[in-house]
Structure 1
Amino acid sequence: MSREFDVVVYGATGFVGELTARYLADHAPEGTKIALGGRSETKLAAVRRRLGERAASWPLVVADADSPAALDAMCARTQVVCTTVGPYLRYGENLVIAAASAGTDYVDLTGEVPFTRFTIDKADDIAQGTGARIVNSCGFDSIPSDLGAYLLHRKATEEQAGTLGETTLVLASMRGGASGGTVDSMRVIAEQAKDPEMRRLLLNPRALSGGPGDVEHAGPSDEPSDISPVDAKKVDPSLSGTLAPFFMASYNTRVVRRSSALLDGYGPDFRYQETMSVGGVPVLSTLLAGAVSVGTGLGLAAMSFRPTRSLLDRVLPKPGEGPSEKSREAGHFVTQTYTTTSSGRRFRSQMRAHGDPGYKATAVMLGESALALALDRDALPRRFGALTPAAAMGDALIERLRRAGFVIEVHELPAS
């Protein structure tokens, strides 16, 4: 593909957009053709000045999210568009169609089930026809989840250990906070959930598993709960106490199940859930896990109730806001994903990285996803359409993240 640019960072004037652009300025290989996109040339120029010498000659592309013609023109100039402009339900639909129509690869940071469903329904067929890879959720939502399960599937296959069965991600450790963009997406989802049809979609654990126009009918009881505490021993004998629900499980689990569907299935008995550690002391962890479960439900309810939402808006981060550089540098995350295969063997994958998960680490994951699509095309699976990180980039992205400093590993666990 001969295009003017390798990557356009769209939304570069936003907080995470600028972090992603800075990561690319510091780490993209020499000669990578990068442009900054957004709706204000003045603000884009200010960002470019802050990025330093390596970005001084980067072109600026002015395109408003509400202008399909401008987005079409931008996508026609680049191999990859990397967008941080959310909430995607509000600002993303025109861009994802423009990218698919132009045969341009696309990466974003969405954690919104309805938007990803829109991408599947409206962009998948177009992208398959033009040879575009449309890849949602290339940040903390949902790369650790998606690659964690993918690694287990690949390892079990290599070891001839059978197919995956009960599989659980445990957020073992994290320091950092939700970004303003994530919070704004939650506001939009809470508003959407008032519609009965949208609520059915949000509650469907396989909402993203089917193809265009083919939402698989499944109820909350068909997969593990996203909001219930979990006995750690049932996840793996090496664990103790009670695990709390992970606050992004209701999105990440759908992405992982879509990867399973796209990759011909992780196994007929594959069931996936996400949790987080609140300590291994039995009584205390049970109390804390219960509190997290109740708090998660109350928080979502508060987001949808106007008087309480206005109170939350005063204390929660707003779009375009984020922590100081010192706070971003002090963050980290560790995810561990456990499975028992159909042969009874146990495996664990792990991803560990420095940096606030929602900001610094997300900028690395999004930036490396864009570079994988732009520069590693010969190493990518011959798979097009509306994809997940694992289905679109798989091993190529894992190797890029390892070189970027992420610890990513998978091991068989000893027999219990």
Structure 2
Amino acid sequence: MTSVPPAGGRELDVVVYGATGFVGALTAKYLAEHAPEGTRIGLAGRNLAKLEKTRAELPASAHDWPLIEADADSPASLDAMAARTRVVATTVGPYLRYGEALLAAVANAGTDYVDLTGEVPFIRYSIDKVGEQAAATGARIVHGCGFDSIPSDVGVYLLHQAVQADDAGELTDTTLVVTSMRGGLSGGTIDSMRVISDLAREKESRRVLLNPHALSSGPNERAAGDRKAEPSDMAIVAASTVDPSLSGTLGPFLMASYNTRIVRRTNYLLGGVYGTAFRYGETMALGRNKVFSRVAATGVAAGMGAFFGAMAMKPTRRVLDRFLPAPGEGPSEESRERGHFDIRVFTKTTTGARYRSRVAAQGDPGYKATAMMFGEAALTLALDRDRLPDLHGVLTPVSAMGDALVDRLRAAGMVLEATRLG
């Protein structure tokens, strides 16, 4: 992973689009510090003066990176940008508001793409509108390449590999448990929630948002999506039912309604390799004491419901906006360094075996850790092309990059492991 392959007719390997935003600048900094020597990287955005300022604040290795003027309101500028690079890494969201023209540009140019969207309707739009074109041109459009949803996607993939290596059957009930996390939501994520809250008022959008298999199909197809066939995204469950090693009560995880759809799409794209009885949910550990954790889980569920309800109403949203981070804002470097996440994913197999994977990293999940995962995903697509699965179109992190991504993330310091429990 130290050499850079020929550019294959493209001037650049990676373009960071939205480089002047908070997470975009963090991603650019990560690439300046960690990309292999000779990697051809460009910075893109709608304001050249701001791009120059961003570049000047990066390490010296980035000071000759080209600057590209590109704007979501100018499809021609996006077409020109996509034609220059192997990979576009975009942080320009909310993606439902600003991302459609870029999808068309990369699909038409056969350019690979990564983003940080947490918007299920945007991915459904992507599948339906550009999925076939991207597959025809050889583009890989890979959504959810940050804290949402690389830990979820990779955590289940590691379980599958371990079970397969032991010939222990197939995955059945599989549950992600956030055991420890410190950090906050980014301003961009909050802005995406605003957009989703508005969409939830529309009947068709609600149908997509509530369908657990909203993404488990091809262009202009719809999976049946029986809500009772999968764990609830707002589940409150006894921890021991997930695995005997756990105690207390598990509460809902804020991003379950997005991450679970990504994992199910991976299983769909890989031909159902996780198993015909595979069911997947996400939760959060709230202590081992049965009484306290039950009260906490109930409080978390109620709080999440109240939060999304408040986001859906303009008067209460205006109050929340006074306290929530705005797009382009984020915590201090000290705060980002103190952050971390530690996630365990548990499964039972058709042979009765129990497995657990662990996914962990240092750094604020929504900022430092996301910049690392996002940057490594872009580098995987750009530099490890001979190791990538032979899949194109609208993909997920695991279906697009598989072992090549896992290896890069491990080399970057992420804990990625799977263990048989019994």
- TM-score category by the smaller chain? over 0.9
2:267 is equivalent to residue 260 of structure 1: yes
Unpaired runs of at least 5, structure 1: none
2:224 is equivalent to residue 217 of structure 1: yes
Per the alignment, residue 122 of structure 1 pairs with: 129
SS across alignment from 1:134? strand
Per the alignment, residue 320 of structure 1 pairs with: 328
Per the alignment, residue 12 of structure 1 pairs with: 19
Instruction: Identify the match of residue 199 of structure 1 among 203, 206, 215.
Output: 206
Deviations 1:106-165 (A, max 9, x none): 000000000011111112111110111100000000000000111111211111111100
Per the alignment, residue 245 of structure 1 pairs with: 252
2:184 is equivalent to residue 169 of structure 1: no
Instruction: Identify the match of residue 270 of structure 1 among 268, 278, 282.
Output: 278
Aligned residue runs from structure 1 range 89-108, under 5 A: 89-108=96-115
Shift of 1:328: 0.1
Per the alignment, residue 332 of structure 1 pairs with: 340
Aligned residue runs from structure 1 range 1-400, under 5 A: 1-265=8-272, 266-400=274-408
Deviations 1:301-341 (A, max 9, x none): 11001111110011011000000000000000001000000
Query: Contact 1:203 / 1:219 at 8 angstroms: preserved in 2?
Result: no
Tell me the amino acid that sits aligned with residue 312 of structure 2. S
Alignment partners' CA distance in 1, 2:125 and 2:155: 25
Shift of 1:286: 0.3
Alignment partners' CA distance in 2, 1:123 and 1:159: 39
Alignment partners' CA distance in 2, 1:217 and 1:275: 24
Shift of 1:226: 0.4
Decide which moves more: 339-348 or 151-160: 151-160
Shift of 1:184: 0.3
Alignment partners' CA distance in 1, 2:47 and 2:399: 34
Shift of 1:199: 0.7
Query: Contact 1:103 / 1:132 at 8 angstroms: preserved in 2?
Result: yes
TM score, norm. by length of structure 1: 0.99
Query: Contact 2:129 / 2:219 at 8 angstroms: preserved in 1?
Result: yes
Per the alignment, residue 415 of structure 2 pairs with: 407
Tell me the amino acid that sits aligned with residue 406 of structure 2. I
Tell me the amino acid that sits aligned with residue 404 of structure 1. A
Tell me the amino acid that sits aligned with residue 276 of structure 1. M
Give aligned-pair identity as a percent.
Answer: 62
SS across alignment from 2:57? helix
Alignment partners' CA distance in 2, 1:219 and 1:192: 21
Query: Contact 2:235 / 2:283 at 8 angstroms: preserved in 1?
Result: no
Shift of 1:78: 0.2
Shift of 1:97: 1.3
Alignment partners' CA distance in 2, 1:52 and 1:337: 37
Aligned residues: 414
Shift of 1:217: 2.1
SS across alignment from 1:76? helix
Query: Contact 2:93 / 2:188 at 8 angstroms: preserved in 1?
Result: yes
Unpaired runs of at least 5, structure 2: 1-7
Query: Contact 1:349 / 1:409 at 8 angstroms: preserved in 2?
Result: yes
Tell me the amino acid that sits aligned with residue 154 of structure 1. Q
Tell me the amino acid that sits aligned with residue 162 of structure 2. K
Alignment partners' CA distance in 2, 1:407 and 1:236: 21
Instruction: Show structure 1 runs of 4+ deviating over 6 A.
Output: none
Shift of 1:96: 1.2
Tell me the amino acid that sits aligned with residue 266 of structure 2. S
Shift of 1:244: 0.6
Query: Contact 2:33 / 2:59 at 8 angstroms: preserved in 1?
Result: no
Alignment partners' CA distance in 2, 1:100 and 1:151: 30
Shift of 1:52: 2.5
Shift of 1:360: 0.1
Deviations 1:218-239 (A, max 9, x none): 2322211001211100100000
Tell me the amino acid that sits aligned with residue 393 of structure 2. G
Tell me the amino acid that sits aligned with residue 312 of structure 1. L
Tell me the amino acid that sits aligned with residue 338 of structure 2. A
Alignment partners' CA distance in 2, 1:295 and 1:18: 32
